[in-house]
Amino acid sequence: MYVLVMGVLFCAALYPLSFREYDKQVKVYAASLPDYSGIKPPVPYAAGRPVKLEVPSVGVNLPIIDGAYDKSTNTWTLSNDKVQFDTASKRPNSREGNTFIYGHATNWVFGPLLKIQPDALAYVTTDNGFVIAYKLTGHEVVNPTDTSVLDYSGPSRLMLQTCTGPTLSEFRQMFYFSYMSHEKVKQQT
């Protein structure tokens, strides 16, 4: 019994000393680590089905409906008062791919885009409450048969298309917007 009591007392005396040494080692190790305080966490992923497009600088504020290319008639579905989201393209998101939205070049649809200025902003609202912001980075005119613009892979971008030319039907005017940011907005109940 004497040996057991002495063993317990001995351990009780050394136990705090061993924790002090352990604490010293932890502090030395922690001091050797890089400073991670300035690193921001990754941006949460945002994606959804597009329901509204706004380009405030030219007064575009339109509902978005699904659209598609009909290979049998070589035509796109079109609306006289809305813009279409090509369902074969990527949904608006914060990571990658090409979101393709198109519409008529009329004054009440995409006609105002023909007056857009560099660095203009566009906002796409999704069905699940995200507003994704894009910035105009370029534009070009292509032939209606040029589908190479659809073969994009890379960071998230928005591509808007309307018609252009002397009779507003000979060519396609493409507008390219790069992803900037997104926010989750409260959904109306």
| Cβ atoms < 10 Å from Cβ of 52 | 15
- Which pLDDT belongs to residue 72? 86
Q: Residue 42: pLDDT above 90? A: no
Q: Which helix (H) or strand (E) holds 36?
A: none
Enter the pTM of the model: 0.75
CB 86 within 8 A of CB 102: yes
- Which pLDDT belongs to residue 62? 97
One-character DSSP codes across 88-110: TSPPSBSSBSEEEEE---STTTT
Which tens digit of pLDDT belongs to each residue from 139-150?
A: 999 988 888 888
Show the tokens assigned to 41: 């966490």
- Report d(CA 67, CA 83) in Å as an integer: 8
Residue 25's beta-bridge partner residues?
Answer: none
CB 127 within 8 A of CB 49: yes
- Arithmetic mean of pLDDT over the chain: 85
- Report d(CA 138, CA 135) in Å as an integer: 9
Coil vs helix vs strand at 132: strand
Q: Residue 3: pLDDT above 90? A: no
